Structure formats: C-alpha cells, structure tokens
Amino acid sequence: MKILITGGAGFIGSNFIHYVIQKYPDYEIINLDKLTYAGNLENLKEIENNPNYHFIKGDICDRKLVTSIVENFKIQVIINFAAESHVDRSIMGADVFIQTNVVGTQTLLEVAREKKIEKFVQISTDEVYGSLDANGKFKEDTPLHPNSPYSASKASADLLALAYHHTFGTPVIITRCSNNYGPYQFPEKLIPLMIINALNNKPLPIYGDGRNIRDWIFVKDHCEAILTVLENGKIGEIYNIGAENEKTNIEIVKLILKELNKDESLITFVKDRPGHDKRYAIDANKIKTQLGWKPKHTFETALKATINWYLENKSWWNKIISGEYLKYYKKWYGER
C-alpha cells in the first residue's frame, strides 16, 4: 500500500505514521507537510531513514506538487491530517484556517478525483457538531453546527468531501474524533500546556469557570481507529471516534497537578474563550458495532504515560516554548 499522509509532522499525524510503520513495515508512506509552527520533524526522527518513509516539505494547497507526488509515488490512498488545528488561533486570525482546512482539502480532493485515488480519508473533528448541554451525545447524523472559525473550516472541508463523493464518486470516508492527548502534542492544547506550565511553576490558565467538558481519547486509540476505518470503513460514510471519557477542564488540571505533586494554587481562572463550546460527547457506537474497533487505553494510565512522556522529553518542548510560541502565548494569554 502506498499512502500519502498530509500533516504527518504534527501531533496525530506523526503518531499515526509511527503506528503504521510498526504494524505494516512494507507499506510505503509519503508524508507531505508544510512544517508550520505545529509541524516538527523531531517527532519522526526514529524513522527518518526508513526506506519506506519519505518526507516532502510542501503545502496541500499546491496542486502541482500534490499531483506530482501522487503520480511519482503511485499513491493509492490519501489520509488528510493537515490542518490548522487550534481554536484559539482561529479566533486570533481565521484566514490561514480557510486556506489550509478548506482550500487545501478541496485541492487534495481534486487531485484524488483526477488521479482516481482508491480511498480518501478526511480526518475531521467532533467540533463540527457544535456544543451540547448536559444531555445527549454527538451521532454521525447530528446536524452540523460549528461555532468557531476552526470548526467552521473543518465542517466546510467535510461538506466538500461528501460533495466530491456524491458528485464524482470520489471514495471519501470521514472520521470525527473527540479531544486527543498523548506524546508529541503541541503545548498550546490543554493537557500539554498544563503539564509544561506546572513543571515550570507557571500559572495554569483556566478559561471561564473550568466546567466546560471535553471527551478525551488517547492518541494511539485514535490512530488504531483511523487504520480500522481505512481498512474496513464503507466509502461515503462518516465514523465518530471517542472513548467515553468526559471530564471538566478543572478535573483534568487537578489530576495533572496531583500527578506532578504540584500545588493547586497554580490554577488561575482567566477570561473565557469567546464562543467557548460547553460540552462535547461522542457516541462511537457505529465504529464499534460495524467495524469492531474499541479503545484499549484507560484515561488514568494513558494520562500518566503522557505526563511521563513530557517529563522524559523536556528538550522536545523546551525548543518549542520559545520564539513563535512565546509571541503567541504572550498575546493570547496577555489579553486574558
């Protein structure tokens, strides 16, 4: 199998590449990544010399480049992880989100159509469904109601993917997963940000009252679900992915502090995120019953493993939390 993975130098993409290379050493993987602030080739250091792995620096919006990769490597499958992925950054400036998440996805779909790709997996998110109150869960047929520029751009990409399937028969499958955590996650997202701030004895900024709820899944379970969908998913279908693990943000932060033996006085309540979604919860029964996938990790053990990973990889994140990150951090949190 020859797979084009876009955004493979980011958090989930790099975890996915490690997972697939280990499981199927004979698969050929081509990683196309623009290396934005979120892309990091260190995530893939251990496999960079693997003869079945190829990295190409480039933009998914570059149709000529994508076409030449598909032709030269005889690509059969595209898995599109590439995206601008942080809600707060989409609030600070949405342009690049529309460019990469919407125009970029459409560019890939166009090449997939033209070159008759065998499968196109669009990695989407539960955020396209919007926000829940205390009851209910997102199902695949829950109406789309994205609330942030980020989620609106991801919902747009989903609609384009479905339209390409409907109109041209492009073999699209969409996955919509809940909040991920694990190794290599960029420390702008809740869990790594809180681990690193706690380790540096810096304030832990909690938006609003800390009672917003997210449904957490370990990244390796997400990767396994994506591979399951790639292998057994039905063309034209959407699959929700989640691990039935709802937690308030304040619960998460307290767990991290406890694990690191740090004082709760580090917790600082700050101005809320504008348009902050209250609750996400995934109903993953379709992938469980139809494709036989289920998560293997419990939150307690996988959170501990994640914290240990950040403890053991200080040089990885120390390099990140300077430069662009510092500018972003000062601007966003300075205003709260």
Which positions from 105 through 164 interact with ligand NAD, judged by CB under 6 A?
A: 123, 125, 154
Binding ligand TDX (rule: CB under 6 A), the pick from 34, 214, 222, 297 is: 214
End-to-end CA distance of the chain: 48
Question: Distance between CA 243 and CA 165 in Å, rounded?
Answer: 28
For residue 224, indicate whether it is catalytic. no
For residue 126, indicate whether it is catalytic. yes
CB atoms within 10 A of CB 113: 18
Which positions from 69 through 108 interact with ligand NAD, judged by CB under 6 A?
A: 81-85, 100, 104
DSSP state of 100: I
Using rule CB under 6 A, residue 24 touches ligand TDX:
no
Active-site annotation holder among 53, 150, 280, 310: 150
CB atoms within 10 A of CB 208: 14
Task: Give residue 236's region: left, alpha or beta (phi > 0; psi -120 to 50).
Answer: left
Using rule CB under 6 A, residue 13 touches ligand NAD:
yes
Q: Which of 11, 8, 83 is nearest to 53 (CA)?
A: 8
Report the C-alpha dihedral over residues 140, 144, 145, 147, rounded to 10 degrees: 90
Using rule CB under 6 A, residue 36 touches ligand TDX:
no
Active-site annotation holder among 33, 126, 215, 224: 126
Q: Using CB distances below 5 to 8 A depending on partner kind, what does residue 11 bind out of ligand NAD, ligand TDX, none?
A: ligand NAD
Q: Which of 176, 154, 307, 310 is nearest to 233 (CA)?
A: 176
Strands 213-218 and 246-248: antiparallel
Which positions from 41 through 100 interact with ligand TDX, judged by CB under 6 A?
A: 85-87
Binding ligand NAD (rule: CB under 6 A), the pick from 3, 4, 61, 196 is: 61
For 211, list phi and psi in degrees, rounded to 5: -100, 5
Q: Using CB distances below 5 to 8 A depending on partner kind, what does residue 100 bind out of ligand NAD, ligand TDX, none?
A: ligand NAD
Amino acid at the residue 268: T
Give Rg (Cα) of the chain. 19
Q: Which of 29, 233, 35, 26 is nearest to 120 (CA)?
A: 233
Binding-residue pattern over the window 103 to 142 for ligand TDX, x denoting contact by CB under 6 A: ----------------------x-x---------------
Element (H, E) at 331: helix 324-334
The nearer residue to ligand TDX, 63 or 273, going by C-beta atoms, is 273
Which positions from 307 through 336 interact with ligand NAD, judged by CB under 6 A?
A: none
For residue 127, indicate whether it is catalytic. yes
For the record, the structure tokens of 298 come out as: 């419990």
Which of these ranges, 21-29, 115-123, 201-209, 236-244, lies near ligand TDX under the rule CB under 6 A?
Answer: 201-209
Which of these ranges, 57-65, 166-174, 249-257, 290-298, lies near ligand NAD under the rule CB under 6 A?
Answer: 57-65
Using rule CB under 6 A, residue 173 touches ligand TDX:
no
Q: Which sequence positions are flagged as catalytic? A: 126-127, 150
Query: Which residues are at the interface with ligand NAD (CB under 6 A)?
Result: 6-7, 9-13, 32-36, 38-39, 59-61, 81-85, 100, 104, 123, 125, 154, 177, 179-180, 186
